[in-house]
Amino acid sequence: MTTEIDWEALRASAREAMTHAYVPYSNFPVGAAALVDDGRIVSGCNVENASYGVTLCAECGLVSSLAMTGGGHLVAFACVDGDGNTLMPCGRCRQLLYEHSAEGMLLETVSGIRTIDEVLPDAFGPRQLVEYRRGHAGGGDIDND
């Protein structure tokens, strides 16, 4: 599957997004981009806040863009710093990406291409809820297809 992904196009989209980062406190711009299962590329940048706890990671902007442009599932993901170097999403953002990932989503990491399950092993999310509800009568379907 890695041969089907244009990683350079994802990195270029992430670098472009990074140029829009709002980082007056850390001066550490981040850009993220992902391929959606319908072929779109969505992106986001980090947006800081004087109340540091409400700062938005680039992945938050990316997922918002995904929702605003029609939804879908993320197939491949890349994230870069201000110099264009690959960054690994933090744990919170890995969970955010998992929530919106296609099964087997690929991430470009500092140690190479990994699946979402490798970077967030034993994750809990929508797929687990769907499986649980399939086995129990009366459960609603949360599958966001």
Compute the C-alpha angle 77/73/135, nearest 5°: 130
| Residues annotated catalytic, as ranges | 59
Residue closest to 125 by CA, chosen among 106, 98, 107:
98
Phi, then psi, of 100 in degrees rounded to 5: -115, 15
Compute the C-alpha angle 31/37/41, nearest 5°: 30
**Contact (Cβ atoms closer than 8 angstroms) between residue 22 and residue 86:** no
